[in-house]
Amino acid sequence: MDILIVRHGESVADIEERMEGRANYPLTDKGRGQAVRAAQWIATHFQPVAVFTSPLSRAVECAEIIAKTVGIKVTKDDNLLDWNHGVLAGMLRSEAATKYPEVPGGRKPHEAIEGGESDIELRARAETFISKLLHTPAYQDKTVLLVAHTMTINKLFDAFLGLPISRGGVRFHGLDTGIHHWRFHEGYKYILMTNSQEHLKDASFISGEALHGELSQL
């Protein structure tokens, strides 16, 4: 099985410097343009048989653009939701740093901010999704595509590789429509590509007019 994971494109919260989590901000026009480029690149190199996405609008928008380009439907899965930041959701990052400063040494894996979920709870969602995916016969020897969020993708990495929670796991900064490519073959797990933005090399920004033209062709 080949697994493609795409972090959604630029969102309104990204440019406003807000904590997102479960706050449901849409993509910007630039983010939609990034999704168009990602969709074109994926359609050229792969033939996904399924597209799964977080139900949050920034991920759904991205997933739908990709799915329409490759000619398949989108399936929403709550296990791909962004980390629940609780009281931080939608808050300006500067405000969050003042009102809810980092706990010295960081929160323990079982601890959650008010109204949010713990590291272990997020990891459990990732474990559930990966387990279901790898044990679905219909996807064996196929390519499956996921659209999710940075912290969720981090935990999907940990779950896929079987890394222990106590070691901290994988940590990377999610790039707009950064693409990851993993492979599960004969019991071995391969990381073939991480956070690639090859599809954006000649498209750092797409104007609203140009974007409208590209989307109307999908």
pLDDT in tens, 90-114: 999 999 999 999 888 888 999 999 9
Q: Quote the pLDDT of residue 167.
A: 65
Pair type for strands 179-185 and 2-7: antiparallel
Across residues 147-167, what is the average pLDDT?
A: 92
pLDDT higher at 54 or 108? 54
Across residues 167-190, what is the average pLDDT?
A: 91
* CATH 3.40.366.30 is the classification of domain 2-216: no
What band does 204 get if pLDDT is binned at 50, 70 and 90?
very low
What band does 216 get if pLDDT is binned at 50, 70 and 90?
very low
Please work out, in degrees rounded to the nearest 5, the angle formed at the alpha carbon of residue 124 by the alpha carbons of 63 and 5. 25
- What whole-number distance in Å separates Cα of residue 153 and Cα of residue 203? 24
Q: Examine the pLDDT at 208 and tell me if it is beyond 50.
A: no
What predicted TM-score, i.e. pTM, was given to this entire model? 0.90
Asked whether the beta carbons of 83 and 76 are under 8 A apart, the reply is no
Q: What percent of the chain has pLDDT over 70?
A: 92
Q: Examine the pLDDT at 156 and tell me if it is beyond 90.
A: yes
- List, in sequence order, every residue forming a beta bridge with 179; answer none if it has no partner: 6, 196
Domain residue extents for the chain: 2-216
Across residues 75-96, what is the average pLDDT?
A: 96
Give CA separation, 180 vs 5, 154, 193, 195, in Å: 5, 11, 5, 5
